[in-house]
Chain A
Amino acid sequence: MTNLLEVKDLKKHFPIKKGAIIPKQVGAVKAVDGVSFAVKKGETLGLVGESGCGKSTTGRTILRLLEPTEGNIFFNGEEITRYKGEKLRKLRKQMQMIFQDPYASLNPRMTVEQIISEPLRSFNVPSKQRRQKVDELLEVVGLSSYHKRRYPHEFSGGQRQRIGIARALALEPELVICDEPVSALDVSIQAQVVNLMEDLQKEYNLTYIFIAHDLSVVHHISDRVAVMYLGEIVEIGEADELYHNPKHPYTQALLSAVPEADPHLEKERIILEGDLPSPSSPPSGCKFHTRCPLAEDICREKRPQLNQLTNSDEHQVACHLVKEVVETGVN
């Protein structure tokens, strides 16, 4: 399978400015700080991490909703990092987004038909085709065509999320970035939406980047998973491999913290001390060393590179203490 998307050393820093008349940059929030990964056609890459780790910013920067500070983004082999104007607009057709909050992401003054056909209208699809497409999309996401005259407030959270999905699919994109698409939904509804997204992926050969903080949902839907901490990927690998054989101390702690619905499970729980450090002044060396139970001197001094594990070609980890890695020397 070929790579649909490739991200190389992507950085997004938000400047912190001070001074009323001549604002001077006094620092930067390093939301995304050197992230590299590739997504194959038709696969789902899960991005997990705690709030503030930069997973949503990564998604938005790939879509070029935010200007990347540094790094390159390749889509279908073409570098899109500096696309502008009409070229960028055309590109947007192939990348769409599903948002977290189904209450805030739909315009309350527009009918469902207007919402779903808006992307079609902006690409000049004739109105007859537009109407046809809306009916088709509503059916695909499990709603009926009589719903199209209604307004968002007449729908439940799960149904609204279906409308958001229909809108994202209207232009037949190749890549869909799903930013916490099921976090706001109840479990029984969450399962419906997850199943729908899986069905749609098969039917339209979609590629997903699935951003979420719920580790079990990410495991269920993703082929590969990347774990982020303070703007960096600390571990990436095939979903089962990463969840059953986590190498990075942060991944281990994160997984052990998930409460599992099984009272008989005897789990070794690693409780991390403290909170996430501020991304405007991240710790030196390995950013996780302030909370890592295993940290050594080297962790405080040198930033670890994302290295391949020897026994697997997909599993990469950024930790000085994991020894069974292939030394590539470059990142």
Chain B
Amino acid sequence: MANQDKKNRQVTGTSLLEVRNLKTHFFTKAGVVKAVDGVTFDIKPGETLGIVGESGSGKSMTAMSIMRLIPSPPGKIVGGEIEFEGKNLLSMSEKELKKIRGNEISMIFQDPMTSLNPVFTIKKQMVETILTHQDMTKKEAIDRAVELLDLVGIPDARARLNNYPHEFSGGMRQRVMIAMALSCDPKLLIADEPTTALDVTIQAQILDLLNRLQEEMGMSIMMITHDLGVVAEVCDRVMVMYAGQPVEFTEAATLFDHPKHPYTWGLLNSIPKITKKKEGQKRLEAIPGLPPDLRNLEAGCHFAPRCKHAMDSCYSKNPSYEPCEPDHFVRCLLYEEKEEVLSND
């Protein structure tokens, strides 16, 4: 069972990846879009970090920045640091990056149909990936591909290597993508909404598979999702993002038990829970309004216009991203003010 596996997993040691104050902006005709604006987090070896947020919150762009895959122009990483095992990814040349990308950090995407090339067989695509990064003969690479497909639970792997992507179902295609991503034993797997396009029963299979593979191979996973259920299921720590900024960052269990940021409260309250009886929950507590336009963000907290607890100062003062408790970061004036009040006493 996924939950128990997760609890038994010990996450210790220094960070594998450290991102500090990352800023990725897009310079468009209509203005500067601050897609990622001051993101700070770290991933420890063997842990699963969840990044949650709605569309446009900058979670995918954070991942793309780590992979240095931001389309430029119009995009540009304008500030911050990304350190992977102590090496600065932002100052690397394209050649150095190639050794990391797909090798030590690999990525799986939401839509397995568009991320596989429809005109080549799985064999060709997998062997190409393996040969790019590893010193092998073609025959060895094919054997490795079979081994990987076996690992991700594709029956009759050797025969299926000759199939084209369209001959696989959605869940199977995602398995192929995972197999390709794992072909070089990456230390970090970035999974960008890996189960969003799948049905729940298939989603359960894939989450289970990722859990098992992490257990066996000991890699870290950065799980980007909009589904708090998936977070509760697989993540050790979670970062919640809103309008390009992290608003809360803590252990998964703490986030669900003691959420601090009003946006996190809103998210948790707006999803219906199936384990509760209907009488107990009459109306969903929606967050009013819409996310802000990232081209002209106003001063103050970006969430303030939608926040039930907004104070006057929220519209003028930028909240800082500080720990309100050890290992619990939150970007909200409610907690800063409280401390000020306390320190005044």
Interface residues of A (CB under 8 A from B): 50-51, 156, 158-159, 186-192, 194-195, 198, 213, 215-217, 219-220, 239-240, 243-244, 253-269, 271-272, 275-276
B87: which A residues are within 8 A, CB to CB? Answer: none
Residues A192 and B281 in contact in the complex (CB < 8 Å), given A215-B200, A260-B274: no
8 pairs, CB–CB < 8 Å, chain A vs chain B: A188-B266, A188-B286, A189-B286, A259-B230, A261-B268, A262-B275, A267-B1, A267-B3
Q: Tell me the minimal C-beta distance from B314 to chain A in angstroms.
A: 18
Within residues 85 to 124 of chain B, which ones have a CB less than 8 A from any CB in chain A? none
Contact B200 A213 (CB under 8 A): yes
Counting chain A CB atoms within 10 Å of each CB, the highest count among B201, B267, B275, B281 belongs to B201
Residues A187 and B267 in contact in the complex (CB < 8 Å), given A257-B200, A263-B256, A269-B1: yes
Would you call B55 an interface residue if the criterion is a C-beta within 8 Å of the partner chain's C-beta atoms? yes
Contact A50 B272 (CB under 8 A): no
Q: Tell me the minimal C-beta distance from A286 to chain B in angstroms.
A: 17
Q: Tell me the minimal C-beta distance from A255 to chain B in angstroms.
A: 7
Contact B273 A261 (CB under 8 A): yes
Would you call B233 an interface residue if the criterion is a C-beta within 8 Å of the partner chain's C-beta atoms? yes
Task: Write the B35-57 contact mask toward A (1 if CB under 8 angstroms, else 0).
Answer: 00000000000000000001100
Would you call B203 an interface residue if the criterion is a C-beta within 8 Å of the partner chain's C-beta atoms? yes
B271: which A residues are within 8 A, CB to CB? Answer: 187, 191, 216, 261
Would you call B310 an interface residue if the criterion is a C-beta within 8 Å of the partner chain's C-beta atoms? no
Neighbour of B54 across the interface among A187, A257, A258, CB < 8 A: A187
Neighbour of B284 across the interface among A194, A239, A254, A257, CB < 8 A: A194
- The A interface is mostly helix, strand or loop, or mixed, namely helix
Neighbour of B267 across the interface among A188, A198, A220, A257, CB < 8 A: A188
B281: which A residues are within 8 A, CB to CB? Answer: 220
Give Cα A271 to B231, complex, Å.
Answer: 18
A156: which B residues are within 8 A, CB to CB? Answer: 290
In the complex, what residue of chain A is closest to B227 when comparing beta carbons? A259
Give Cα A260 to B288, complex, Å.
Answer: 23
Total A-B residue pairs with C-beta atoms closer than 8 Å?
Answer: 136
Would you call B304 an interface residue if the criterion is a C-beta within 8 Å of the partner chain's C-beta atoms? no
Residues A261 and B256 in contact in the complex (CB < 8 Å), given A216-B273, A275-B202: yes
A187: which B residues are within 8 A, CB to CB? Answer: 54, 226, 228, 267, 270-271
A215: which B residues are within 8 A, CB to CB? Answer: 200, 274
User: 4 closest pairs, A vs B, by CB?
Assistant: A259-B229, A220-B272, A191-B286, A191-B270
Residues A263 and B253 in contact in the complex (CB < 8 Å), given A217-B272, A253-B201: yes
Would you call B188 an interface residue if the criterion is a C-beta within 8 Å of the partner chain's C-beta atoms? no
Give Cα A275 to B266, complex, Å.
Answer: 35
Neighbour of B272 across the interface among A216, A253, A256, CB < 8 A: A216
Would you call B283 an interface residue if the criterion is a C-beta within 8 Å of the partner chain's C-beta atoms? yes
Contact A191 B201 (CB under 8 A): no
Within residues 248 to 306 of chain B, which ones have a CB less than 8 A from any CB in chain A? 252-253, 256-257, 266-268, 270-275, 277-278, 281, 283-288, 290
Give Cα A54 to B1, complex, Å.
Answer: 31
Neighbour of B278 across the interface among A158, A240, A255, A262, CB < 8 A: A240
Query: Which listed segment binds A: B26-34, B129-137, B179-187, B204-212?
Result: B204-212
In the complex, what residue of chain A is closest to B203 when comparing beta carbons? A257
Give Cα A198 to B232, complex, Å.
Answer: 28
A266: which B residues are within 8 A, CB to CB? Answer: 1, 3-4
A240: which B residues are within 8 A, CB to CB? Answer: 277-278
Q: Tell me the minimal C-beta distance from A182 to chain B in angstroms.
A: 11
Q: Tell me the minimal C-beta distance from A237 to chain B in angstroms.
A: 13
In the complex, what residue of chain A is closest to B306 when comparing beta carbons? A188
A259: which B residues are within 8 A, CB to CB? Answer: 203-204, 207, 227, 229-230, 232-233
Would you call B2 an interface residue if the criterion is a C-beta within 8 Å of the partner chain's C-beta atoms? yes
B288: which A residues are within 8 A, CB to CB? Answer: 192
A220: which B residues are within 8 A, CB to CB? Answer: 272, 278, 281, 284
Would you call B14 an interface residue if the criterion is a C-beta within 8 Å of the partner chain's C-beta atoms? no
Q: Tell me the minimal C-beta distance from B215 to chain A in angstroms.
A: 16
Would you call B320 an interface residue if the criterion is a C-beta within 8 Å of the partner chain's C-beta atoms? no
B208: which A residues are within 8 A, CB to CB? Answer: 269, 271
Contact B205 A271 (CB under 8 A): yes
Give Cα A155 to B4, complex, Å.
Answer: 44
Give Cα A255 to B272, complex, Å.
Answer: 14
Would you call B172 an interface residue if the criterion is a C-beta within 8 Å of the partner chain's C-beta atoms? yes
Give Cα A71 to B226, complex, Å.
Answer: 41
Contact B274 A265 (CB under 8 A): no
Give Cα A254 to B203, complex, Å.
Answer: 11
Contact B205 A186 (CB under 8 A): no
A239: which B residues are within 8 A, CB to CB? Answer: 278
Would you call B323 an interface residue if the criterion is a C-beta within 8 Å of the partner chain's C-beta atoms? no
Contact A186 B200 (CB under 8 A): no
A198: which B residues are within 8 A, CB to CB? Answer: 283
B54: which A residues are within 8 A, CB to CB? Answer: 186-189
Counting chain B CB atoms within 10 Å of each CB, the highest count among A190, A213, A268 belongs to A190
Q: Tell me the minimal C-beta distance from B169 to chain A in angstroms.
A: 5
Give Cα A189 to B286, complex, Å.
Answer: 7
Give Cα A158 to B291, complex, Å.
Answer: 11
Give Cα A215 to B268, complex, Å.
Answer: 17
Would you call B218 an interface residue if the criterion is a C-beta within 8 Å of the partner chain's C-beta atoms? no
Q: Tell me the minimal C-beta distance from A284 to chain B in angstroms.
A: 21
Would you call B167 an interface residue if the criterion is a C-beta within 8 Å of the partner chain's C-beta atoms? no
